[in-house]
């Protein structure tokens, strides 16, 4: 992670779905006092994803619509280099994991990775849902009690250092058949730019 990335809080994300990879921008909105997490969206609040990193950078540099913190987003694009960290979200793998594990009996090391990825993906979806005021997605997140589960997970994982219990809390989400619906609803909100 470079210094500018730390300073202005903008991060490159890679999202994989339907066996394809797309790139988008996530970050803190430094123009608002509480600095909420936001994603680069279109004027109609669709998440904008690009088939190549270069397309994302060009989009920002050429003065196209920037949905949040325009000054810092443009600074990030001007200083971007391919050696930066990229956060990966593999929705194909998460769908497979969810469909093949209706209930986890144990949480082994492999399952911990999937559960952490699932938690991170749902947290990203939650950021997008509330920022874009997407009522359908917010409703789907409420159906699986994600906010309560996230808060419980963070309390156990971060503050109490009870990681095994935290993973078991996230594994309970798998029992809820609607988690795949949340992922699919989110993916339907993506506008791909080639």
**What is the SS3 assignment for the chain?**
CCHHHHHHCEEEEEEEECCEEEEEEEEECCCCCCCCEEECECCCCCEEEECCHHHHHHHHHCCCCCCCCHHHHHHHHHHCCCCCCEEEEEHHHHHHHHHHCCCCCCCCHHHHHHHHHHHHHHHHHHHHHHHHCCHHHHHHHHHCCHHHHHHHHHHHHHHCCCHHHHHHHHHHHHCCCCHHHHHHHHHCCEEEEC
Label residue 4 by pLDDT band (50, 70, 90): very low
- Tens digit of each residue's pLDDT (9 = 90 or more) over 15-72: 999 999 999 999 998 888 888 889 999 999 999 999 999 999 999 999 889 999 899 9
The token pair at 77 is: 């694009």
DSSP bridge pairs for 11: 26
Label residue 1 by pLDDT band (50, 70, 90): very low
The predicted model gives 121-149 an average pLDDT of: 90
What contacts 17, CB < 8 A, 6 or more positions away? 91, 92, 187, 190
Distances (CA, A) of 179 to 38, 91, 142, 194: 22, 12, 11, 29
- Tens digit of each residue's pLDDT (9 = 90 or more) over 89-116: 999 988 888 877 655 566 677 777 888 8
Domain ranges of the chain: 3-88, 91-188
């Amino acid at each position: 992670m470079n210094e500018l990335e730390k300073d202005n809080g903008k991060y490159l994300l890679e999202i994989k779905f339907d066996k394809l990879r797309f790139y988008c921008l996530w970050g803190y909105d430094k123009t608002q006092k509480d600095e909420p997490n936001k994603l680069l969206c279109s004027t109609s609040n669709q998440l904008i994803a690009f088939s190549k990193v270069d397309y994302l950078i060009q989009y920002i540099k050429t003065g196209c619509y920037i949905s949040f913190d325009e000054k810092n987003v443009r600074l990030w694009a001007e200083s971007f280099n391919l050696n930066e960290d990229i956060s990966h979200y593999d929705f194909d793998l998460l769908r497979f994991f969810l469909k093949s594990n209706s209930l986890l009996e144990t949480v082994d090391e492999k399952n911990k990775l999937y559960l952490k990825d699932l938690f991170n993906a749902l947290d990203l979806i939650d950021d997008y849902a509330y920022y874009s005021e997407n009522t359908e997605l917010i409703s789907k997140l409420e159906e699986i009690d994600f906010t309560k589960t996230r808060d419980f997970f963070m309390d156990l994982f971060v503050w109490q250092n009870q990681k095994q219990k935290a993973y078991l809390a996230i594994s309970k989400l798998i029992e809820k058949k609607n988690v795949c619906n949340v992922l699919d609803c989110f993916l339907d909100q993506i506008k791909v730019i080639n």
